[in-house]
Amino acid sequence: MVIHNTPSGQIAKRGHPTERFPGSVEFRGFGALSDALIGLRGWDSPVVLKEAAMVLGTDDKAAWTYVNSVRKAIIDSWSKHFNLVKEAEKAAFGQKSYFGFIESGGIWKATSLDAARNDPDDISVEG
């Protein structure tokens, strides 16, 4: 899915991505409530309503148990998939890969910020 707006909801003024970022992985399925937050489930789903009532209800222990279980699932998923993100990004971008560059110990070096803005491909790299 390609999004045509900025994260703030404004229309992208300098163009928008024409394809999905190659290093992206799906980050969903941690619970009905988190799926609703990213638009995968409707807010009127009985499961979403039940989880929302638990989180916003008066039983703090139940709410924190739920929140902590979701946090653990998110951390476990991130830990499991982060290397996949790095490998996919490096495969897609080759010598212009951010992760490949960082792993090589390189340092970005531009003659000036204006030069970098005017020609983002004209940035020398030391590694």
Residues 6 or more apart whose CB falls under 8 angstroms from that of 47 comprise: 32, 41
Mean pLDDT over 78-96 rounds to: 89
Does residue 112 sit in the same domain as residue 76? no
Residue 114 pLDDT more than 60?
Answer: no
Tokens of 22: 């190659």
Does residue 122 sit in the same domain as residue 68? no
If one counts the domains in the chain, the total is 2
What percent of the chain is predicted at pLDDT more than 70?
Answer: 72
Does residue 12 sit in the same domain as residue 68? yes
Closest of 33, 25, 120, 38 to residue 79, by C-alpha:
25
> 0.75 cut: is pTM over it?
no
Does residue 68 sit in the same domain as residue 36? yes
Does residue 77 sit in the same domain as residue 61? yes
Does residue 86 sit in the same domain as residue 70? yes
Residue 37 pLDDT more than 50?
Answer: yes
Mean pLDDT over 22-35 rounds to: 88
Does residue 81 sit in the same domain as residue 49? yes
Could you tell me which residue, 107 or 33, shows the higher pLDDT?
33
| Mean pLDDT rounded to a whole number for the chain | 81
Owning domain of residue 118: 97-127
Dihedral sign from CA coordinates of 7, 39, 17, 94: positive
Mean pLDDT over 86-104 rounds to: 88
Could you tell me which residue, 24 or 60, shows the higher pLDDT?
60
Does residue 11 sit in the same domain as residue 63? yes
Does residue 14 sit in the same domain as residue 70? yes
Does residue 56 sit in the same domain as residue 105? no
Mean pLDDT over 33-49 rounds to: 94
CA 48 from centroid of its chain's CA atoms: 22
Does residue 101 sit in the same domain as residue 73? no
pLDDT (0 to 100) of residue 58:
96
Does residue 80 sit in the same domain as residue 111? no
